[in-house]
Amino acid sequence: VLSGCGVYDGTEIHEASAILVHLSRGGAEVQMYAPDVPQMHVIDHSKGQPAEAESRNVLVESARIARGKIASLAKLTTADHDAVIFPGGFGAAKNLSTFAVDGKDCKVNREVERVLKDFHKAGKPIGLCCISPLLAAKVLSGAEVTVGHEEEEGGKWPYAGTAGAIKELGGKHCVKETAFSLTPFYEAHVDTKNKVVTTPAFMCETELHNIFDGIGAMVKNVLKLTGK
């Protein structure tokens, strides 16, 4: 499930690409979706500033990542899929929810909420990375997720405050290390009760290959939980 195209106002493109590569390697068939709604705003990624008087549609922008093969989120059903995965990017906090504006009092897009609740009720796994675990924390009360560390540690974890917000939203935050001491990839947290799998991804300032491998751990666990 995508939220636009570009880290500051949509889906984090490297995360989406990594998820697709790992799903492909795992032999999964993939269908991409996005809500057919306007973006909260448009960011000029070369400046990191809002592009005034410009508007874009989340589904239309997400189609850039999907190479055109995308459908409205309203068409996503549990009957057609074994699992659902949400990449990160600020779009999760701006377009899939209002977290960027409302914090712990945020609302989740009704189709996103429906999908999360439907997959949870069906006992089918849900994967999320970067900031998107906040969606599960808000919708699935008591879900265990990780966004990495709970302290900034000199800028290594610049979005560490999100961990506190996860708790305020009703979720349980689990601290995960940047990497295992002897292996070069991120940890993924598996909430076996709720079948929710999360990994920090770009919540940490680290090398791209670490993020790629951490997402791989998340995808691997999601596929494992499908039982196929």
The active-site residue out of 5, 129, 130, 174 is 130
Rounded-to-integer distance, Cα 2 and Cα 87, Å: 7
Rounded-to-integer distance, Cα 158 and Cα 34, Å: 27
Q: Which of 164, 171, 176, 168 is nearest to 194 (CA)?
A: 171
Among this protein's residues, is 130 annotated catalytic? yes
Q: Which residues of 131-155 are buried (b: 16+ CB within 10 A; e: fewer)?
A: bbbbbbbbbbeebbbbbbbbeeeee
Q: Which residue has the tokens 């349980």?
A: 172
Decide: 133 and 140 in contact? Cβ < 8 Å.
no
- Count Cα neighbours of 60 within 13 Å in the Cβ-side half-sphere: 6
Active site residues: 130
